A and B are shown apart, each in its own frame.
Chain A
Amino acid sequence: MNPKIFLIIGFLLGGVFLAGIAAYIPNGLITDLPKFILFIIAMGLIVIGFSCRYYSYLISPIMKQRKKHIILSDQVPYWLASTDDCIVSKRGEDFIATAFINIPMYVSASEMTDEERERFSNQISRLVSVNKDPVRFSSVLRIMDKDEYLTKIKGLIGSAENDESTALQKNDPLEIERARGKLSMWKKILDHIGSKSSMELVTFASISATGSKEYEAITISQQKAKELMNGIGTILGVTPNIIIGSEIFKLVEPEYLIPLSTISEEITKKIEHGEVE
């Protein structure tokens, strides 16, 4: 039986018991106040008991810690499996492994005909009921990390500037014009790409499996993921793949949604506009 039921019954019966004690304390000027305090505590126990249906996980930490910042868990929420293909977390004594599947979709609705759109919507509807186990289908809109690309362009600008100075030393007008044209092109590209953030939309599915041992949970989750991939592939006609390694963090951790360069850029902008003190 679910332990929360004992908690609910315990608190409710405790409330009745305390109210009973309060009722049977003899009346008098001195005893009236403790009677009422006991009665109010009894009412509090009834409310706590009823709240246990959804909040049983809070009762013990709140009572033990008695602080304004309650620690429900001081463990890391998950860790990357040694196989690199899923994340693992603990629930009680069991391990839960969650695998992530990338669903490559490169179609644009604006380029589809009405029939194609209808077919696509129906495919998505079928996709939802593809598996008996709980599956989460997600679409993530995140800011692209262009740092590497921007560094490459900056390198090309540096090389174009070198070409320009070499041409100036040689005093070759044709070469100077060509180097300046190249430099201007890369600078324009850098300005264009660096001026605003680009977004990317990634679609993925995730599925979990439990096991009493870590490797057991990982194996079952991979098995489930493969079955799910077959279903997705058949319905959508795409080739899904299991997301591995640090790519998983991009779907789980908030800091991977926005590249660090974009954050510093945004903060700088806010400081310039006086939004940040």
Chain B
Amino acid sequence: MDEEGIMYLAFALVMLLLILTLTPKMGGGILSIIAAFLVVITACIVVVLNFADYLLVSMGFSTIGLTFQPAAGYKINRQQNSAIKEVGGIYYATGYITGNLFAYEFKQEMQEEDTESKIIEAPLRWEMAMTNIKFPFKYHLLSSGLNVQNVRDELEGKRSYQEYQLSKVLQDSNGKDTAIAELQRKINVLQRKMDRISGGEKPVGSVMYVETTAIGVSEKAAVDELERQIGALQIALSPMNIDLIRVVGRELYTLFKFSFAMPLDYEETKNYFDKQS
């Protein structure tokens, strides 16, 4: 969670705490208990929203039955998982899944020979996946250069914090081996990232996603076909070690807009993608 997220969460919880202090004035006895209970429920909803808003909000919209028109001629369906367009009686349903290639941390942890074999196999695996797919789809990689000095400073800060944690665990006579190993692993990952930047590699922020379009003579037929295509894509792309998660809710709206206009800087990209990718 970023600083902005922590700030919003803290502010909302402080407001709820303030309201909680008012609950004794709600009538006393059972009435005050009910009011306090409502505050606790709201706090729980806020915390869940903070970590999985895309699931909770999409579920809420789906239950109410809300659909959206993101632009003329398009519609985001009730399940908030596809953008639908109708042209001449034919429905085109477009859905998205995240397509992040192996998580960056894991890549840093890999042995040199593992990385090499993955690099050699990647084009072959990609080609094999392509031959197995018999419907239209797009693989997108949105990348943006980062400020080298900022990234380096951030990594140094993180490494210092992990080193401090490690020294604390080492001082503790009951320090568990697993905790030490975990902290050392984190430090190694950060060090490798810093080494790569020192070696001249430009730090890049990226968002990868897969888009597929299905057709149908009705909206339902197109969405059903889309579900089938997404399932087939998840199977076809799984050998590539891709993190494949269906995109719903606000990120679907964002990716839909990306088809026509891209974000203009990395900060903007980062603000759009916080959870699902």
Contact = CB atoms under 8 A, between A and B. Distances in A.
Interface stretch (A32-40, A147-155, A164-172, A187-195): A32-40
A197 B133 CA distance: 12
Contact of B265 (A16, A39, A78, A134): A134
Contacts of A72: 68-71, 253
Given A53-B8, A71-B69, A121-B120, A206 B74 contact: no
Contacts of A257: 136, 213
A23 B260 contact: no
Contacts of A276: 217, 221
A75 B72 CA distance: 5
A120 interface: yes
Contact of A121 (B28, B35, B85, B123): B123
Contact of A19 (B22, B116, B134, B141): B22
Nearest to A108: B127
A112 B122 CA distance: 12
Given A19-B22, A46-B12, A96-B261, A70 B64 contact: no
Contacts of A208: 261-264
- Range, interface on chain A: 35 or more
A248 to B, nearest CB: 11
Interface string A29-56: 0001001100110110011011101110
A257 B130 CA distance: 16
B53 interface: yes
A184 B124 CA distance: 38
- Range, interface on chain B: 35 or more
Given A22-B26, A27-B27, A201-B130, A43 B38 contact: yes
B126 interface: yes
Given A137-B143, A254-B94, A255-B90, A70 B67 contact: yes
A58 B80 CA distance: 13
Nearest to B143: A128
A135 B144 contact: yes
B139 A129 contact: no
Contacts of B235: none
Given A73-B72, A121-B122, A138-B138, 12 more contacts: A15-B19, A62-B66, A73-B71, A77-B70, A109-B124, A132-B145, A133-B144, A135-B144, A207-B262, A254-B213, A255-B92, A266-B215
Nearest first, the 8 closest Cβ-Cβ pairs linking A and B are A109-B123, A132-B145, A77-B71, A254-B92, A257-B136, A23-B22, A23-B25, A208-B262
